[in-house]
Amino acid sequence: MPHLAAAFNLARWLTGNPADAQDVVQDAYLRAFRYFDSFRGGDFRVWLLSIVRNSFLTWVRDNRSGHLVFEPGLTDITGADSWADPTPGPEAILLEQLDRDTLTVLVAALPAEYREVLVLRELEDLSYKEIARIADVPVGTVMSRLARARRALRVAWHRHEAGKAAS
């Protein structure tokens, strides 16, 4: 099952929970196997993630039409990990987990079209061009959605931190 982790990761972020993500991924793999003869070469991962996205859109329409609204259309280059304490203590581990949990909640609260490009770019490390093919939008749209997603995430993070400081 090539690229299963990437497919599940995208579906989980799009659907919002692992159980629904499993349904979407299962449907996507069935479609991929059924229509494998239509694959015309190129990047198989991009082709498969496009199918996952389309399966998600079908799933939303069939299962959650009134619940979800979706309109189609960690390390940095400086090696931030090298700044981490090689032997973090329990407090550092707890703080890191809290930050990770907060980030997960904040990303999940983003609009679906922002969350989609953010996950594909930052977690799946796809290029703008690959994301554009998956999302079936122009590269410029991917770039603007990604910039808006990052800005919205930054604002949400600052609000969260300000709320913690006020408490």
pLDDT, one tens digit per residue, over 55-99 is: 998 888 887 654 444 444 433 343 333 334 456 677 767 767 777
Kindly state whether residues 9 and 28 are assigned to the same domain: yes
Supply the pLDDT for residue 81.
36
Supply the pLDDT for residue 73.
45
Kindly state whether residues 115 and 148 are assigned to the same domain: yes
**Residue 163: domain span:** 74-167
Kindly state whether residues 13 and 28 are assigned to the same domain: yes
What average pLDDT does range 44-56 have in this prediction? 88
CB 124 within 8 A of CB 6: yes
Kindly state whether residues 61 and 90 are assigned to the same domain: no
What average pLDDT does range 25-31 have in this prediction? 92
Give the count of domains, the chain. 2
User: Which 3 state secondary structure label does DSSP give 70?
Assistant: coil
pLDDT above 80: residue 130: yes
Looking at every residue in the chain, the average pLDDT score rounds to: 80
Kindly state whether residues 92 and 158 are assigned to the same domain: yes
Tokens coding 148: 């808006």
CB 56 within 8 A of CB 24: yes
Kindly state whether residues 120 and 162 are assigned to the same domain: yes
Kindly state whether residues 61 and 85 are assigned to the same domain: no
Which residues have CB under 8 Å from 160's CB, separation 6+?
A: 102, 106
pTM higher than 0.95:
no
Kindly state whether residues 120 and 56 are assigned to the same domain: no
Is the model more confident about 76 or about 122? Answer: 122
What average pLDDT does range 1-29 have in this prediction? 87
